Amino acid sequence: MAHTIVTDVCEGVADCVSACPVACIHEGPGKNVKGTDWYWIDFSTCIDCGICLQVCPVEDAILAEERPELQKIAE
């Protein structure tokens, strides 16, 4: 199961982007409700390795489950 970046919690630190071994984390357009950049995980590419969880400094920004209702994506 893929991981989820909670759009409204993400602060755009982006440590997860360079750490992801399959490049499934992408920048979202615009700002989130906090006024920060945000990222999203492509569920179809994520291999559930958990590296993003380990490197993200923002508490509860990434969940170890697929929760599409909490993650906006670029369309």
Q: Using one digit for the tens of pLDDT, what is the confidence trace for 7-30?
A: 999 999 999 999 999 999 999 999
Q: Over 70: is that where the pLDDT of 48 sits?
A: yes
Here the contacts of 27-32 (C-beta below 8 Å, separation 24 or greater) are 27/74, 28/72, 28/73, 28/74, 29/74, 32/7, 32/8, 32/72
Enumerate the β-bridge partners of residue 5: 62
Q: Model confidence over 58-70: pLDDT tens digits?
A: 999 999 999 999 9
* pTM summary value: 0.94
Instruction: Name the band, by pLDDT with cuts 50, 70 and 90, for residue 75.
Output: low
